[in-house]
Amino acid sequence: MRGLSFVHKKGEPLKALFLGAHSDDIELGCGGTILSLLEQGQELEVWWVVFAASPARRLEAERSAEMFLRGAVKKEIVVRDFKESFFPYIGSEIKTCFEELKRTISPDVVFTHFRDDLHQDHRLISELTWNTFRDHLILEYEIIKYDGGLGSPNLFVQLSEEVCAKKMKYLMENFQSQRSHQWFTEETFRAILRLRGVESNAPEKYAEAFYGRKIVIG
């Protein structure tokens, strides 16, 4: 299946904003896409924001972000400490954080949570993304979880086996605190990548999937 690709002005880095409610969300949803862009030689300026992390998980988040962003020309990693699972009740505080981001960066692309995700924290981050970055390309990523809620995405980034393996390695190395969960396994993560690979006819079998609700081509 032929498709479009991320193409940016020659000599100018792609400015990307990655938003995740929790420490491992960005990596789970679009870690392969990040690794693929860097592997293909795309210069990246990255703002990476995690909104909820305990002290232990903060260390995991920072270490993982550094690993996934190795090779980026610029990276700003921010890990906040909003209370996990309470986002709908502290939305005004999180909204203030988004307003600060808007004054700091005008990204070429924003990666955020799926609007209809069944986790309340994820939904709020997605809602505030659209509320804040109204004139930007926004791609919503998906995360496989106990609650279910997978949908029918309409945009795919095909991954090489090498990138897929690297994503698995980084996830399992960096998020030791999550390995007691029955869903946090390489088998689980490869399964969703394989499913999206089938749907996009990926030549090396794997893909990450996104929801692109408003895309301007030109």
Q: What backbone phi and psi angles, to 5 degrees, belong to 71?
A: 110, -15
Region 81-101: what's the mean pLDDT? Answer: 97
**Strand-pair category, 44-52 with 74-79:** parallel
For residue 148, the model assigns a pLDDT of 85
For residue 23, the model assigns a pLDDT of 95
Each residue's pLDDT tens digit, 153-208 = 999 999 999 999 999 999 999 999 998 888 899 999 999 999 999 999 999 999 99
Structural domains in the chain, sorted by start: 14-211 (3.40.50.10320)
CB 164 within 8 A of CB 194: no
Region 12-39: what's the mean pLDDT? Answer: 97
For residue 10, the model assigns a pLDDT of 64
Region 81-89: what's the mean pLDDT? Answer: 96
Each residue's pLDDT tens digit, 67-77 = 999 999 999 99
Each residue's pLDDT tens digit, 100-152 = 999 999 999 999 999 999 999 999 999 999 999 999 999 999 999 888 889 99
Neighbours of 137 (CB within 10 A): 15
Element (H, E) at 184: none
